């Protein structure tokens, strides 16, 4: 597995998104996925306090305890955890990190990410609290999610001499190329690592969905009508079909195209792909091996014209 960097952290080029843990997957199913990820060379595990209402962190803390020295754990804070636990005010940042440290059974969080901007809190105050956590050793690097290019510039200025964001995590895939409208360039300017989530467009780029056919049973899009309306559009399925044919003509799968296309961008540090089975995580881990030539990248880009 290729390694890349998020600030001082060395991470596997394909990471494991842990939003299924504690919701779709119970403990032993989670353990099977995580152990398979470790065997496949994945060292980067991305979770959040809100996933499974804390259970994702709890599961990871238990399963990864014997492997803590060789893994990089990223988690997030700021979403509504109930009982007033949300946002990015300094007092809550200090509380949230202690809660996550306890659930993760660790003395440090490798990458601690603001899950989304908090319009009620000046960013300088949040960054000041995060700087305290870095200085104390409870956090190694800090990051953000759902930030625009303008917000990244504001964050750089607001940090002053304190800890600065090392990464930004936004949605990015062959079917959603919004980060190309400024965020990726800003990452390059600041030296930020970019972490794409939903790299497979909730499975549409895995090859399991077909135009004119119902979603396979037991998949997320088969059981969630809102997600199905968002991702299983005629446009997405048509583009995915064209991309799948493009990949097959070159001896690759649509999954390999989706991951390798992202990794062709130097600012992408790790492709965060979720998995609900050991078989999925094995396939995801192997999917970034296609070193796409410039003409292949250009042709893949042309097939996605009009995606946003």
Tens digits of residue pLDDT in 126-151: 999 999 999 999 999 999 999 999 99
pLDDT at 226: 75
Nearest-5° Cα angle at 291, 288 to 295: 130
Closest of 106, 104, 94 to residue 55, by C-alpha:
104
Domains and CATH numbers, the chain: 3-204+258-291 (3.20.20.100)
pLDDT at 305: 78
For the ranges 41-45, 183-187, 207-211, 216-220, which has the lowest average pLDDT?
216-220
Model confidence at 222: pLDDT above 60: no
pLDDT band at 188 (very low <50, low <70, confident <90, very high): very high
Residues forming the active site: 51
pLDDT at 87: 97
Which comes out higher in pLDDT, residue 62 or 236?
A: 62
Residue-wise pLDDT for 227-243, tens only, equals 667 787 889 899 999 99
CA 75/CA 45 separation, integer angstroms: 8
Closest of 255, 280, 304, 273 to residue 46, by C-alpha:
273
CA 75/CA 11 separation, integer angstroms: 14
pLDDT at 242: 95
CA 208/CA 236 separation, integer angstroms: 13
Q: What is the mean pLDDT of residues 148-158?
A: 98
Whole-number average pLDDT of the chain: 94
pLDDT at 219: 67
Model confidence at 308: pLDDT above 60: no
Residue-wise pLDDT for 64-119, tens only, equals 999 999 999 999 999 999 998 999 999 999 999 999 999 999 999 999 999 999 99
CA 60/CA 72 separation, integer angstroms: 11
Nearest-5° Cα angle at 274, 246 to 296: 20
């Amino acid at each position: 597995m290729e390694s890349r960097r998020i600030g001082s952290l060395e991470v596997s080029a394909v990471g494991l998104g842990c939003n299924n843990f504690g919701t779709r997957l119970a403990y032993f199913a989670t353990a099977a996925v995580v152990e398979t990820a470790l065997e496949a060379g994945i060292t980067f595990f991305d979770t959040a306090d809100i996933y499974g209402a804390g259970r994702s962190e709890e599961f990871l803390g238990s399963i990864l305890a014997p492997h803590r020295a060789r893994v990089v754990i990223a988690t997030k804070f700021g979403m509504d955890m109930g009982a007033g636990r949300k946002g990015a005010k300094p007092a809550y940042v200090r509380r949230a990190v202690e809660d996550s440290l306890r659930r993760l059974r660790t003395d440090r969080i490798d990458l601690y990410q603001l899950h989304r901007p908090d319009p009620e809190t000046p960013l300088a105050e949040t960054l000041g609290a995060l700087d305290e956590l870095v200085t104390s050793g409870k956090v190694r690097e800090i990051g953000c999610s759902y930030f625009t290019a303008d917000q990244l510039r504001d964050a750089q200025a607001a940090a002053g001499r304190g800890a600065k964001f090392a990464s930004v995590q936004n949605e990015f895939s062959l079917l959603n190329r919004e980060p190309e409208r400024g965020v990726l360039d800003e990452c390059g300017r600041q030296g930020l690592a970019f972490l794409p989530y939903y790299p497979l467009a909730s499975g549409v780029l895995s090859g399991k969905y077909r135009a004119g056919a119902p979603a396979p049973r037991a998949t997320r899009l088969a059981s969630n009508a809102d997600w199905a309306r968002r991702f299983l559009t005629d446009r997405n399925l048509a583009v995915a079909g064209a991309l799948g044919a493009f990949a097959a003509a070159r001896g690759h799968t649509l999954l390999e195209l989706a991951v390798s296309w992202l990794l062709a961008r130097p600012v992408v540090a790790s492709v965060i792909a979720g998995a609900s089975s050991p078989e999925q995580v094995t396939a995801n881990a192997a999917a970034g091996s296609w070193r796409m030539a410039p003409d292949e990248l250009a042709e893949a880009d042309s097939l996605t014209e009009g995606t946003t």
